[in-house]
Structure 1
Amino acid sequence: MRIRRKKWARPELDACPYYIDNAEEMKGRWHEAFADNSRPLYLELGCGKGVFAAQHALRYPDINIIAADIKADMLAVGRRTVENMFGAVERTHDNIMLLRMNIVNISQLFAENDTVDRIYINFCNPWNRGKHNKRRLTHPRQLEQYRNILKQGGELRFKTDDDELFEDSVEYFKECGWEITYITRDLHAENLPDNLITEHERMFASEGKKIKFLIALPPRKE
């Protein structure tokens, strides 16, 4: 998603206690970023305006979630989203972190003890031009990195409106030895009780587009 540069973004992020700008410095200490590091740790890749992560943190106070994006301006919007949503219920946001990170290099930023229980990828850029396919967040080179970050028994949840990206991604998961434990090409027809609707999901659904969704488990680590 493109976003205009915001003059207020950097000052607000610099003052935000739950924003991390230098991911390299946190390697080996991701669980320590939270007040209660005994909670399960989830990671959203490409969090956009932070609606999903904020909803998740509110609904599941016993789970820590890191919302990652490459753009500081986008994360600044996410910070405002968190403040608005948590302010409405007057609850502290001690179980959410905003992280500026290049997801392409994710395996370089997480150590063996930094494993997470779940990864979310919601409505990422489809990169449907052939030469750009390798930029997809579900591309095999990315799946190999996620495999090392997920705990044994951890899972990846992927959601998109894009038919080509979804079908290609299904093949990526199979190619890399992941087990798809749940799949639907019309998520809203399933009425899953724990589905948190993102801003993109609401927009695409209103346009009549079917939302595709799957849950996958990585192959066992050797």
Structure 2
Amino acid sequence: MNQVDGVVRMQADALKALLEQSRDDRCAELGERAALQAAEMRTRARRKARERVARAVAEERARMEREVRAVEAEIETEHRRRARRRDLALIEAGGEALREALQRRWTDEGARRDWAQTVVREAAEVLLGRDWVLEHPADWPAAERDDALAFAADEAGARCTAQASDAVAAGLRIRSDGALVDMSIAGLLANRARIDGQLLAELADEAEGETR
């Protein structure tokens, strides 16, 4: 081997070594880059997975909350329905009980006399005129009627006449100049809305007292 061949061989070996080193460096660089990319991909994948899980959990929680609210609303609605049915039943029973109680009072002579005096006093308070017509059931005893007329004259200074009325089955009414004081049972129960409201208020007070 001459000197030239030796130099060429050395240059070739050096070039080969340089290429191998460059290859190794490039491979290492590519490996590191691939590793970084893989790590980033895994990080992104884990983040996306966590986000999907978080969204799924949030959606499930929201769904459950909606279902809970729907159930609560249904329960509240049912409670209100039951309370309304109960109130209506109580009002009906209370109204009937009131009618029966008034009817029992009217069948009692002492209570009827008190009733007559009460309607006279009420008329004296609200009626301007003193020419009265006392409307009563046809079967009202004459003695009680006469006592009521005398009481109206003594108590209110009224010029009162009595008149049987088919419209008055129980209780009494006094008319004067187109005005009316109606204490017949039908008249006392006529304002059903007010009576029902009073019954509901009393029931509510009783319920509140029981919870204390």
Bigger RCO of structures 1 and 2 (CA < 8 A, at least 6 apart)? 1
TM value normalised by structure 2 = 0.27
TM value normalised by structure 1 = 0.26
Higher helix share: 2
Higher strand share: 1
Computing the radius of gyration from Cα coordinates, the structure with the larger value is: 2
